[in-house]
Structure 1
């Protein structure tokens, strides 16, 4: 399961975001370092396609996909030099697959520091850049020496040098435009700034009418390198504590529709190249996670390794085509059910049944 880390200055709303996704459990307090050890939770990625398939099949059980998320304690200026237990918290960031920058736009006299989300983003990126730069500069001479006796290591040194150049210029690796081969070589370095990023701007209730006003500065900094989402974490956390009917009523009364959390979760899910295929039947309808580009056997292996090892073929149909047919058997009779082999690249939204023999 992929893991997303919430990173922000103290009291930006990270713990409240955790509570909104997990339904409570994290201490959200108006003082720095209310969180010391990271809270780890799991959020279901709700999908209307799965619900529709389950209704069609009259499934007894419905299982959505999920992502894991980590509420990491607030960073402060100087964290890369150990300020505010910074080194400890930076280590937690190294363990996640992607970073969610939680940036405060709401005004609160009890919370110190700027409420400008773009300024907060610059502080956070600078701390991560400084930590990565120090780590690379510490090891680069040793790697250069090793490459002189073993030329096969020269590409790794070149990748490190490229990263040092961009970091030294104040740009994080993830938005420096380095090529895929360089990024692949840097993976072993576990750089904080090489991870995919989402920027989440935490709005006050009075800012929801004109969210773009508060997101503009962050979007200007990031360009098209990362998605930027605005939501009121406090309202979403309060809604998450209600039963589904009351939650819907509250969100609709505030003009928020289904809320921003589903959008955030789907964005996070897509960010890492994760896609969804489905299985459906009377017993269970289930969403499964696969990586974009997976072949049919690789996707079968998501369910069980035996499915991949003994793969014969996959019966496949788009979720919307299946719903239009009304059932698996009707789709087969109509000829809309396809037989796909080992070279088939699975598409997001495919509904599949696998044939295998081991």
Structure 2
């Protein structure tokens, strides 16, 4: 199953432009109301520079990258402008598009453009984030209160098994009612079963995608890297757009969230070029790679995912697993029978394989290993699984 990232943001934040750049889906651009149930969906391949060299060697019938699904939903922002008593959160239809997302990409606008007016009349990414968080909290509050009502009715039977759930729901209710994130709370192992059924938006891993002006893109990426690495940044000494970028970056670091800066407008222009032309243009700008690729990579890092490979004459393929997965679990990504009947894995790391030129040469150098059930798969491992599902 593809990794799914839900893209949310205020109207006119550039999120659909970003979606188009990520997916080349050519979705229509324009603000539309939160009540709209429309969503743009697209599944795109995850860039992996290891696939082509393997394909050049094996000349397989097909090459299959792993994929990520992006879901772009209507603009949000109604909660910040409504009185507390009028806040209703997102509609059920709207919620349905993103409740199953593995992570949220929250697009925050830092660029100014008189031709693209901001719905609040000024540029302030921190304010915009607070607005979006408020709407997510109000939506989750409605979910929690509905579940609390149902569980409280069941508890009237006198069965004490419902009390731990009621206690959890009341803690969530109190936090969300203050427009705080459910992720700020600490939970027991017992709580996880209930949380897994609630699909709370304020519990989802999140990345902040800063939609910046093209002329500050290079400086923005350097600034984000410095803050991420713990460098000393005097935010108040920064001016204009960079100050807002730094504040979001510091907030993301405190929350354990990820942050990436892109210029959605530039990405849209690059999406019209060939891959070679796009990379030449990026090099001329002093940028290492497409923002779309960086968003995907950040998503993988956020969700603690890695990629292992299989390679042969039939197919060269990338597979996604959670970091720390053992060999049988990775085998199960290919087929449940392989996990069930797992015997061992023949593992050669991509770098060792390329340095050797073949599996036989890697084996002769001692670079191909036989690993058992306790082996932890590494990013870039090329694995061949031996299994037996006989009686």
Fold-level match, TM-score > 0.5? yes
- Give the Cα–Cα distance (whole angstroms) in 2 for the partners of residues 179 and 51 of structure 1: 45
Tell me what 1:24 maps to. 25
1:126 to 130, 134, 137: 134
Return the offset for 1:147. 4.1
Check 1:87–1:218 CA distance in 2 against 1; reply closer, same or farther (3 A cut): farther
Tell me what 1:72 maps to. 73
Unaligned ranges ≥5, structure 1: none
Question: Secondary structure, in 3 states, of the residue corresponding to 1:317?
Answer: strand
Q: Normalising by structure 2, what TM-score?
A: 0.83
- Give the Cα–Cα distance (whole angstroms) in 2 for the partners of residues 144 and 86 of structure 1: 24
Tell me what 1:100 maps to. 105
- Give the Cα–Cα distance (whole angstroms) in 1 for the partners of residues 188 and 90 of structure 2: 34
1:226-259 C-alpha deviation (Å, 9 max, x unpaired): 0011110111121122111221222222222322
2:361 to 309, 318, 330: 330
Unaligned ranges ≥5, structure 2: 224-241
Tell me what 2:228 maps to. none
1:140 to 131, 145, 148: 148
1:296 to 322, 327, 332: 327
Check 1:335–1:261 CA distance in 2 against 1; reply closer, same or farther (3 A cut): same
1:111 aligns with 2:120: no
8 A Cα contact 1:11 1:32, kept in partner: no
Check 1:317–1:153 CA distance in 2 against 1; reply closer, same or farther (3 A cut): farther
Q: Normalising by structure 1, what TM-score?
A: 0.90
| Range moving further from structure 2, 129-138 or 146-155 | 146-155
8 A Cα contact 2:307 2:380, kept in partner: yes
Q: Segments of 4+ in structure 1 off by > 6 A?
A: 82-85
Aligned residue runs from structure 1 range 1-358, under 5 A: 1-29=2-30, 31-33=31-33, 36-59=37-60, 61-78=62-79, 88-109=93-114, 110-112=116-118, 113=120, 114-147=122-155, 149-178=158-187, 181-211=190-220, 212=223, 213=242, 214-222=244-252, 223-358=254-389
Check 1:337–1:175 CA distance in 2 against 1; reply closer, same or farther (3 A cut): same
Question: Secondary structure, in 3 states, of the residue corresponding to 1:299?
Answer: helix
Check 1:67–1:147 CA distance in 2 against 1; reply closer, same or farther (3 A cut): same
| Range moving further from structure 2, 67-76 or 85-94 | 85-94
- Give the Cα–Cα distance (whole angstroms) in 2 for the partners of residues 219 and 86 of structure 1: 30
- Give the Cα–Cα distance (whole angstroms) in 1 for the partners of residues 331 and 146 of structure 2: 44
- Give the Cα–Cα distance (whole angstroms) in 2 for the partners of residues 108 and 184 of structure 1: 46
RMSD of aligned alpha carbons: 2.6
8 A Cα contact 2:310 2:318, kept in partner: yes
